[in-house]
Amino acid sequence: MLDLNILAIVPAGLLLVWLYSRRQSRSPYASLPLPPGPKPLPIIGNLLQMPTSREAQVYEQWGRDFNSGILHVNLAGTSVVIINSAAIANELLERRSSTYSSRPFSIMCTELMGFNNLVSLVPYGDTWRAMRRLLHREFHPTASLQYRPLVVEATNDFLRRLLDTPDEFCSNIIHMFGRVIMDITYGIKVKPEGDPRIQTAKRAMEAISEALSQGSFYVDAFPILKHIPEWVPGASFKRKAREWHLIADAMYHNPYNTTKENLTSGVTTASFVSKCLEDMPRSETKADNDWQEMLIRETAGTLYAAGTDTTGSTFKTFFLAMLFNPEMQARAQKEIDEVVGHGNLPDYSHQGSLPYVEAIVREALRWRPVTPQGIAHVVTAEDAFEGYRIPAGAVVIPNQWAMLHDENVYPNPSTFDPERFLDSEGRIDPNVKDPAHAAFGFGRRICPGRHLALSSLYITIASVLATFDIKKAVDTDGKPITPPGDYSPCGVVVSALDFKASITPRSAATKAAILALGA
């Protein structure tokens, strides 16, 4: 984050505020108040009040303080609207999606870091629609079924790794989901250990996550700062941006070029990129062909980065939850044994007969959402909601944490409790809101890979429960080690910090089932 001496650009700040006030004075809703929120300071607004860690929880508390499901803060003239209510998110981001489907322009993340064509950040328009069509074609509910064999193959490899190196389960989780997404996106088989492409995807998501947190970098509020030299005190963001740009280049180009070269030589396997390249409409102009290739390359890069880290975060949450709740683990294992048979591995045909396992998947999504503060939307036309003015250009933060921890919907929300999703007969209760309503985003910007993510979570969680016991590790004195359960404190995407656990086969029969999978 910039040092405060950089904020001494008073004339530019005053100009921004003046232009903002002029724009608002012409508003047809000018007489309406903005939603409630913390009192802003002159020029910089609420910039210094924005949280730098546990942002979603702070926004949730602000909602309680102001007794409102919708809030407003001012970041040096830019309106930020925070939505803590699922009902309000549904009204604005779903029903009014034509107005609320764009994305804010982040100078840091796009212009300086080079992630300008990440699908998640592309403004609503022709480029985004073209990218979305590519994704929908390959990842709609029916199309996603084609990837299940790859997910099962990676899951089986993960079980073998748990058997051989149980203490490395955290890194093995990253490897498993990185392996899946590299195979699906590029048809590339990753190295068994330490594949640099998986590390590139992980580092890319960490950089994007940090850069997209509202108020993290003052250059987004004061664009003039992008022109200052890297050596100026307080300009460390320029060095970070330069380093992260190298990661962006590697993310977009390296695996894509590999797949393209393989396709040319005729040795490639089916993948998102190879299918898109083969079906790409050819034009007589180089500019049109280059644009089509850019769409494929940048869309693939988004899959590559997002798919490695996000689903893996929920899977890691599952391990933490089972470690803290051995009785829930035992109940799920009993259900699997009764349906599948002890010593057998579950498959997708068992999913409908394993409601408690399904409840665990849902609770893992709800309890610790991967994107607690969501990914920001932008309002493209001025709007009004319940007597409040929503300015055009306002950044809208859908606080998924607050929605998934609403005690009116999920009683005792801080407790991990799969039973909240079951009825009195032990079946999934349709009256309890599925956390997928918030966990994967909203409206036209909902995650296109959600069907693949959910099916991946089911088979990985069911397979681990069928074969292993997850318990607390012990120290040298034989005392149980209780992990703190901490998560990365800031950023748009969060994950549990690495922790120790004792992971052992449930029995000789389950160990034999894993060994029978082969290499």
Q: Which residue has the tokens 């319940």?
A: 386
**pLDDT value of position 516:** 94
pLDDT at 361 over 50: yes
The reply to whether the predicted model has a pTM over 0.85 is yes
More confident residue, 229 or 132: 132
Instruction: Give the C-alpha separation, 12 to 371, whole Å.
Output: 33
Contacts 24+ apart (CB under 8 A), 393-396: 393/78, 393/79, 394/78, 394/79, 394/80, 394/81, 395/75, 395/78, 395/79, 395/80, 395/81, 395/104, 395/214, 396/80, 396/81, 396/82, 396/83, 396/92, 396/93, 396/100
Instruction: Give one DSSP letter per residue of 26-49, joined into a string.
Output: T-TTTTSPPPP-PPPBTTTBTGGG
Residue 14's pLDDT band, with cuts at 50, 70 and 90, is very low
DSSP-assigned beta bridge partners for residue 75: 45, 78
Q: What whole-number distance in Å separates Cα of residue 200 and Cα of residue 255?
A: 11
Could you give the 3-state DSSP secondary structure of residue 482? coil
Cβ distance 322 to 329 under 8 Å?
yes
CA distance 315 to 306: 14
Q: Indicate if the pLDDT at residue 191 is higher than 90.
A: no
Over residues 41-55, mean pLDDT: 90
Amino acid 30: pLDDT: 82
At how many degrees (to 10) do helices 126-139 and 272-279 cross? 120
Report the CATH number at residue 80. Answer: 1.10.630.10
What mean pLDDT is predicted for residues 1-19? Answer: 43
Instruction: For residue 230, give the nearest of 44, 2, 13, 4 by alpha carbon.
Output: 2
447 in a known ligand binding site:
yes
What is the arithmetic mean of pLDDT over 193-211? 87
Structural domain count of the chain:
1
Q: What is the pLDDT of residue 214?
A: 65
**How would residue 159 be classed by pLDDT, with cut points 50, 70 and 90?**
very high
Tell me what pLDDT residue 370 has: 94
Task: Read off the pLDDT band of 36 (50, 70, 90).
Answer: very high
Extended beta strands in 269-360, E state: none
pLDDT band at 403 (very low <50, low <70, confident <90, very high): very high
Using the predicted structure, report yes or no on whether residue 419 has a pLDDT greater than 80.
yes
Taking residues 421-450, report their average pLDDT.
95
Chain-centre distance of CA 320, in angstroms?
19
- Residues spanned by the domain of 399: 4-515
229 or 395: which carries more pLDDT confidence?
395
DSSP state of 190: P
Q: 453 and 492 in contact (C-beta within 8 Å)?
A: no
pLDDT of residue 221: 78
Q: What is the arithmetic mean of pLDDT over 455-469?
A: 98
> Has residue 428 got a pLDDT over 90?
yes
Residues sharing a CB contact under 8 Å with residue 200, sequence separation 6 or more, in sequence order: 247, 250, 251, 254
Segment 1-10 shows an average pLDDT of 39
- Give the residue with greater pLDDT, 293 vs 11: 293
Q: Which of 291-295, 362-366, 436-440, 474-478 shows the lowest mean pLDDT across its residues?
A: 474-478
Average pLDDT, the chain: 90
Q: Is the pLDDT of residue 2 over 80?
A: no
pLDDT of res. 216: 74
Of 148 and 202, the one with more pLDDT: 148
Contact of 354 with 348, CB cutoff 8 Å:
no
pLDDT above 90 covers a percentage of the chain that reads 71
pLDDT of residue 215: 66
Residue 8: count other Cβ atoms within 10 Å of its Cβ: 7
Give the least confident one: 54-58, 84-88, 106-110.
106-110
pLDDT at position 505 is 98
Confidence of residue 230 (pLDDT cuts 50, 70, 90): confident
pLDDT recorded at residue 134: 95
Over residues 335-344, the pLDDT tens digits come to 999 999 999 9
Q: Taking residues 460-479, what's their average pLDDT? A: 95
Contacts of 246 (CB under 8 A, 6+ apart): none
**What average pLDDT does range 294-323 have in this prediction?**
92
pLDDT by residue (tens digit) across 112-131? 999 888 898 899 999 999 99
